[in-house]
Amino acid sequence: MTEEEIFITMRQLEFASEAAREEDRDNILARIALVESEIERRYPGQVLAPYREWMRRGIVR
């Protein structure tokens, strides 16, 4: 996945978690954790800073 695809996936999962029913939340939160791990792997020590910067720049789709 490209950086853009990872960040878009994270944003979609955030929206999904807000709209999800209780029984679906655990699955969505697990997927968020996987994407967070991938971001951390690509940007060691920056946690979610690259994602937050991407959102700040307004590239959210």
Residue with tokens 């950086």: 3
Alpha-carbon distance 33 to 53, whole Å?
A: 19
What secondary structure does DSSP assign to 14-43, as a single string? HHHHHH--HHHHHHHHHHHHHHHHHHHHHS
Q: 61 pLDDT exceeds 90?
A: no
Residue 56 near residue 15, CB atoms below 8 Å: no
Residue 59 is predicted with a pLDDT of: 61
Which two three-digit tokens encode residue 41? 């792997």
Residue 58 is predicted with a pLDDT of: 83
Tens digit of each residue's pLDDT (9 = 90 or more) over 2-55: 999 999 999 999 999 998 888 888 999 999 999 999 999 999 999 999 999 999
Residue 23 is predicted with a pLDDT of: 82
